[in-house]
A = this chain, B = another copy of it.
């Protein structure tokens, strides 16, 4: 049995705050500050360049990747860390295109995170491929014999809608296409099973439900059947078979290591590694059950007590990730009012109140407080103050 009281206690949650924005930036693990301080003091400062061997910096991207593998239904040695999610989307997509050389169409949906679409558009323009973007519900109908790669984010960053990874992957494979899955809103939030779904490539970030800190490095997974054939367009020295031979010609490293590019972000990986240790002993089925319970209770509570909002997320929990969105015409101001009262969710343009439920540290007490606070704000109209309408640079 997972001890969710213990996992909650592993995070620093500011006094008076109900944090429902872990789908944007996870809170700091209590041990992260000491771990990073120790890394800087004992490794960087004292070992200097020898830290690459003595402190294991060189193998850290895969060691950390192994911790993520378990959370997403992948095997050991199949995941490696580095760069940002956008870079990893580019790598996965370019490798997938190369593995399907007779075809040039990339299919995605309008619920994908914009950066994924920008990356795909940039790659398509560069290599002469075609990016087709359809509505999320039209994806299945748009898979045809032209398709090279189906590139989707499993859980929609706004609506929380969850794609059926296994079904869409099977359909893509039947049509002769490969799949690239973005797990930004899945990893650490729901029960992902990449091997079970027979996916081809997957990527994700670690600063949301995995709590690695702002700008924490991304991960990439390649199904072992492709790992020795995938040629990343972005080929850097850390992905070379022998980085320190300084060979002028590139020979890809075996397996997933070839997806490394430049020097890994060692300080950030130290924070992330600590954050992933919190997952030791967490059962992913239990995590999913807890997530469903939290989002179901939140939807029921808001619909019972909060006037003027309409559910934006799928009502069926099987079709939903671990977040809930509600629409309100004054969503921006309403969210500022919530934040002012210590309930932190976020606003997504144009009119969405978004609440993420991280089962690792959110509980029913967070649901109750968020419902009560939102209800009060909407019933009294207290959101309608000038300071709540003022837009910040980053919203």
- For A337, list chain B residues within 8 Å (CB): none
Within 8 A of B (CB), among A96-150: 110, 113-115, 117-119, 121-123, 125-127, 133
Beta-carbon contacts under 8 Å, A340-373 to B: 344, 346, 348-349
Assembled-state Cα–Cα distance A53/B250 (Å): 42
Q: List residues of chain B with CB within 8 A of the CB of A51.
A: 25, 214
Would A121 and B250 be within 8 Å (CB), given that A213-B44, A237-B86, A265-B265 are in contact? yes
Over the window 217-245 of chain A, the binary record of Cβ atoms lying under 8 Å from chain B Cβ atoms (1 yes, 0 no) is 11000000000000011111110100111
Partner-binding segment picked from A29-37, A292-300, A312-320, A381-389? A29-37
Q: Is A52 an interface residue (CB 8 A)?
A: yes
CB neighbours of A267 from chain B (8 A): 36, 213-215, 267-268, 271
Q: Which residues of B contact A240 (CB under 8 A)?
A: 114, 118
Residue of B33, B44, B346, B348 near A28 (CB, 8 A) is: B44
Query: Quick check: B214 and A44 within 8 Å, CB to CB?
Result: yes
Q: Which residue of B lies closest to A85 (CB)?
A: B262
Can you name the residue of chain B whose Cβ is closest to the Cβ of A24?
A: B49
Interface string of A1-31 (1 = CB under 8 A from B): 0000000000010100101010011011000
Q: Is A261 an interface residue (CB 8 A)?
A: yes
Which residue of the partner chain, among B82, B118, B215, contacts A237 with CB atoms under 8 Å? B118
- The answer, yes or no, to whether A94 is at the interface (CB within 8 Å) is yes
Q: Give which listed residue, B32, B33, B344, contacts A48 with CB less than 8 A.
A: B344
Query: In the bound complex, do residue A118 and residue B53 qualify as a contact, i.e. CB atoms below 8 Å apart?
Result: no
In chain A, positions 268-288 with a C-beta closer than 8 Å to chain B are 268-269, 271
Cα of A268 to Cα of B52 in the assembled complex, Å: 17
Bound: A233/B217 CA distance, A: 21
* Residues B94 and A262 in contact, CB atoms below 8 Å apart: no
In the assembled complex, the CB of A206 is this many whole angstroms from the nearest CB of chain B, namely 10
Alpha-carbon distance A127/B236, docked complex (angstroms): 17
Once the chains are docked, how many angstroms separate the CA of A340 from the CA of B17?
A: 52
Q: Do residues A121 and B235 form an inter-chain contact, with CB atoms below 8 A?
A: yes
Check B214–A248 contact: CB distance below 8 A. no
Query: Are A123 and B263 neighbours in the complex by a CB distance under 8 Å?
Result: no
Contact between chains at A122 and B235 (CB < 8 Å): yes
Query: Nearest residue in B to A212 (C-beta to C-beta)?
Result: B267
In the complex the two chains form, what is the Cα distance from A57 to B28 in whole Å?
16
Closest residue of chain B to A214 (Cβ to Cβ) is: B266
**Contacts A127-B127, A218-B262, A267-B214; A248 near B133 (Cβ below 8 A):** yes
User: A182 near B: Cβ within 8 Å?
Assistant: no
Taking the complex as formed, is A164 at the interface, i.e. its CB lies under 8 A from any CB of chain B?
A: no
Task: Say yes or no: A83-B87 contact (C-beta < 8 A), given A36-B267, A49-B24, A114-B248.
Answer: yes
Q: Check A349 against B235 for contact (C-beta < 8 Å).
A: no
A185 to chain B, nearest CB (A): 14
* Complex interface: chain B residues within 8 A of A12 (CB): 45
Chain A residues close to B by CB (< 8 Å):
12, 14, 17, 19, 21, 24-25, 27-28, 32-33, 36-37, 40-41, 44-46, 48-53, 57-59, 82-87, 90, 94, 110, 113-115, 117-119, 121-123, 125-127, 133, 158, 205, 207, 213-218, 232-238, 240, 243-250, 261-269, 271, 339, 344, 346, 348-349, 392-395
In the complex, besides A86-B236, A158-B246, A215-B265, 9 extra interface pairs with C-beta distance below 8 angstroms are: A21-B48, A27-B45, A36-B37, A83-B87, A114-B237, A118-B237, A119-B236, A122-B250, A267-B268
A sample of 24 cross-chain residue pairs with beta-carbon separation below 8 angstroms, ordered by A number, consists of: A12-B45, A21-B49, A24-B49, A33-B37, A37-B37, A40-B271, A51-B214, A57-B214, A85-B263, A86-B236, A86-B262, A87-B87, A87-B234, A110-B248, A118-B237, A121-B235, A126-B126, A207-B263, A215-B267, A244-B394, A244-B395, A246-B349, A265-B265, A267-B271
